[in-house]
Homo-oligomer: A and B are copies of this chain.
Amino acid sequence: MARDMFEPIFKEIFPFWEKITDSDKEYICTNTSAVSYPKGTNVHDGNDCLGVVMLRSGCLRVYILSEDGKDITLYRLHAGDMCMLSASCVLQSITFDVHIDAEENSECYIVDGCAFSSVADRNPDIRIFTLETAVSRFSDVMWVMQQILFMSMDKRLAIFLYEEMNRTNSDIINLTHEQIARYIGSAREVVSRMLKYFSNEGFVEPSRKGIKILDKNRLRELAL
Contact = CB atoms under 8 A, between A and B. Distances in A.
Contacts of A132: 93, 131
A66 B96 contact: no
A119 interface: no
A138 B66 contact: no
Given A141-B142, A146-B64, A124 B128 contact: yes
Contacts of A67: 150
A125 B128 CA distance: 9
Residue among A72, A96, A124, A143 facing the most chain B CB atoms (10 A cut-off): A96
B125 A93 contact: no
A149 interface: yes
B95 A139 contact: yes
Nearest to A65: B150
Nearest to A138: B138
A185 interface: yes
B142 A96 contact: yes
Interface in A98-143: 124-125, 127-128, 131-132, 134-139, 141-143
A127 to B, nearest CB: 5
